[in-house]
Amino acid sequence: MIELIPAIDIIGGRCVRLTKGDYATRKEYGSPVDMALMFRDHGFRRLHVVDLDGAKAKHVVNLRTLEEIASKSGLTVDFGGGVKTDEDLRLAFDAGASLVTAGSIAVTNPETYLKWLGTYGPDRLILGADAREGRISINGWLEDSPVQLTDFLTRYMQAGTRNVLCTDISRDGMLGGTALPLYKEIMRAYPHCHLIASGGVGSIDDIDELESAGIPAVVFGKAVYEGRIDLKELSKRN
């Protein structure tokens, strides 16, 4: 069964969603802690939390909110956004993150990412592979790197990475369906990868398609916030 992971993105201590990563499209949905408790009360066990302020500032910003979410909900939290240094990583874990997503650092400073992988192990790190037109985007998707997605995945899967969060940025927040062909291609190339699909989920049917294709996990958010997915119905699949 596919792992269902609700997403909470944070700007200024508030739960928000963007479209295609564009900060100008920000829409607020209230308290991140309240959202976390709602997901917990519907039986979900894990959260994907993104510090969008941190991603933009290139250092972790919303630690207090992370700590509140983790302590009050008791959920397993994977956290990303602005984790660039050993100190950022330590602070995120100390604030209650069980796993940390590292994406930009794996592009800009591969040695640091590989050091973290060796120190913390593959079960506590998620490789953030967010792509636009086949290239990895970094720093809150504000910059497109020259690194090709396939080269990026090959390098770090060979180095021992197991968890990969892959977002097709062109689909993010669009509610128009996921990048299913891309995810199938990744699973064919790396059958032992714990791939987390992200971006474009607009209905339970989109999740069913991913599950039928053998994708291990999916992140979703906006479809719930916008009433496109009934959380009570989805929770029956947990």
Q: Which residues are catalytic?
A: 9, 130
Show the tokens assigned to 95. 């604030």
Helix (H, G, I), strand (E, B) or coil at 120: helix
Could you give the CA distance from residue 214 to residue 184 in angstroms, rounded to a whole number? Answer: 8
Q: Which of 36, 41, 104 is nearest to 71 (CA)?
A: 36
CA–CA gap between residue 1 and residue 208 (Å, rounded): 10
Structure tokens at 225: 């916030």
CA atoms of 46 and 39, how far apart (whole Å): 9
The candidate with the shortest Cα–Cα distance to 16, out of 43, 56, 45, is 56
Three-state DSSP class for residue 226: coil
